[in-house]
A and B are shown apart, each in its own frame.
Chain A
Amino acid sequence: DSQMTQSPSSLSASVGDRVTITCQASQDISNYLNWYQQKPGKAPKLLIYDASDLETGVPSRFSGSGSGADFTFTISSLQPEDIATYYCQQYDNLPFTFGGGTKVEIK
């Protein structure tokens, strides 16, 4: 199984700040890594797939990078509507595992 270690578990930033979240896999997962946003009481929403591809309709301030075992998710300029929990998820091998999540708050 590929364990996904996401950090930090929470962060507080100001509107307009650049926000970075990391996700480390316990083994090489190539670029089979996705990022989701989940707002309270809502289903997760796909933002980035295959490590760096932006899902249709997702604002360009969201981006992803990395390959192998180390990945980064970035919000270039934090907006109030970005308050949510973000999850990475690998699909290189079964079981499909999620990171523990990063809760993003406004300072």
Chain B
Amino acid sequence: EVQLVESGGGLVQPGGSLRLSCAASGFTFSNYGMSWVRQAPGKGLEWVSAISGSGGTTYYADSVKGRFTISRDNSKNTLSLHLNSLRAEDTAIYYCAKCLREGSWSAFDFWGQGTLVTVSS
């Protein structure tokens, strides 16, 4: 059974940093691209970042480029997102999501339960 479990969210002051983690199980982690998607309170879904199965290719939304860093440790089946220079508008639930197909971008067929990041003084 595929499972994605996020952790690391919390309350942080503007300008602060946070590291989110996503523990994956139930599939061959290194074969699949992964993404982070966020949802601000009462708002819609916003794709944040993606990383290829090998970790060699990464992509970011313009809203987080230069501030967030996505990475993965395939030996530990773990996806990470480092959040720096946080702003109030980064307040959201952050979901990790798995690509449907091996080796190519596609739909997100499994999602974690999400972890809440609140940026406030």
Residues of A within 8 A of B (CB): 34, 36, 38, 43-46, 49-50, 55, 87, 89, 91, 94-101
Between A and B, 15 residue pairs with Cβ closer than 8 Å are A34-B108, A36-B45, A36-B108, A43-B114, A44-B37, A44-B95, A46-B109, A49-B109, A87-B45, A89-B45, A91-B106, A96-B105, A98-B46, A98-B47, A101-B44
Which residue of the partner chain B has the closest CB to A91? Answer: B105
Q: How far is the CB of B78 from chain A (nearest CB, A)?
A: 19
B88 within 8 A of A: no
Q: Contacts A34-B107, A49-B106; is A95 near B61 (CB within 8 Å)? A: yes
CA distance A44 to B112 in the complex (A): 9
3 pairs of A and B residues whose beta carbons are closest in the complex: A49-B107, A43-B111, A34-B107
A44–B107 touching, CB < 8 Å: no
Specify which of B37, B50, B100, B111 is in contact with A49 (CB 8 Å cutoff).
B100
A46 x B107 contact (CB < 8 A): yes
Known contacts A43-B114, A46-B100, A49-B100; A96 and B47 CB within 8 A of each other: yes
Candidates B59, B111, B112, B113; contact of A95 at CB < 8 Å: B59
Query: Quick check: A94 and B45 within 8 Å, CB to CB?
Result: no
Instruction: Give Cα A95 to B46, complex, Å.
Output: 10
Q: Nearest-CB distance from B57 to chain A (Å)?
A: 10
A100 contacts across to B, CB distance below 8 A: 44
Instruction: Say whether B44 contacts A96, CB under 8 Å.
Output: no
For residue B1, CB closer than 8 A to chain A, the reply is no
Considering the chains assembled together, what is the distance between the CA atoms of A38 and B39 in angstroms?
A: 11
Contact of A43 among B46, B61, B106, B113 (CB under 8 A): B113
1/0 contact string of B95-108 vs chain A (CB within 8 Å): 10000100001111
B35 within 8 A of A: yes
Question: B108 touching A97 by the CB < 8 A rule?
Answer: no
Can you name the residue of chain A whose Cβ is closest to the Cβ of B65? A95
A36 / chain B contacts, CB cutoff of 8 Å: 45, 108
Contacting A at CB under 8 A, from B64-97, are: 95
Measured CB to CB, the nearest residue on chain A to B44 is: A101
Cβ of A94: which chain B residues have Cβ within 8 Å of it? 50, 59
